[in-house]
Amino acid sequence: MHDHLSQTFQALADPTRRAILAKLSMGEANVSDLAKPFLKEMSLPAITKHLKVLENAGLVTKTRDAQYRPCKLNGAPLKDATDWIEHYRSFWEESLDRLGEYLKTVTAKEKETTKKKKTAKGKSHGRKK
């Protein structure tokens, strides 16, 4: 929890916070501007807290302009996050790696069964929640 990467992923693990970042990617915005799309679902202090999480993760920088707090997105921490994930790219690209042969066999079988009949359901991996 203390390490930088965990903090970044933790900050991203919430749809409201990701939506705030999305909004900030279109330009600077102050708190109430950012809050507006969410005020039907949650209160302003809730947004303040989300912003604090993003700020602590270094993803957002808040400045001062009169009563306003213009926020801007800082993408730097995202670089470390994406660098970490990138290390695993071969595991979603089906390329041959140490597990390549095994994985390829499994996925090939799965594709074959899906292909068999158009009526097959498809996306489920048989995992339960």
Partner DNA sequence: CCGATATTTAACTAAGTGGTTAATTAACCA
Partner DNA sequence: TGGTTAATTAACCACTTAGTTAAATATCGG
Label residue 59 exposed, middle or buried (CB < 10 Å: 0-12, 13-18, 19+).
Answer: buried
What is the phi/psi pair of residue 42, to 5°?
-155, 170
21 near DNA (CB under 7 A):
no
How many residues sit in the footprint of DNA (CB under 7 A)?
33
| Residue 25 CA: distances (Å) to CA of 15, 19, 86, 102 | 15, 10, 22, 41
Of positions 39, 42, 44, 89, contacts a second copy by CB under 8 A: 89
Nearest-angstrom CA–CA distance, 37 and 16: 10
DSSP reduced 3-state for 49: helix
Least CB distance to a second copy at residue 45 (A): 20
Among 20-28, 82-90, 95-103, 120-128, the segment contacting DNA (CB under 7 A): 120-128
Interacting partner of 42 out of DNA, a second copy, none (Cβ under 5 to 8 A depending on kind): DNA
61 near DNA (CB under 7 A):
no
Q: Which residues bind DNA (CB under 7 A)?
A: 1, 10, 13-14, 16, 30-33, 35, 41-46, 48-53, 62, 66-69, 121, 125-129
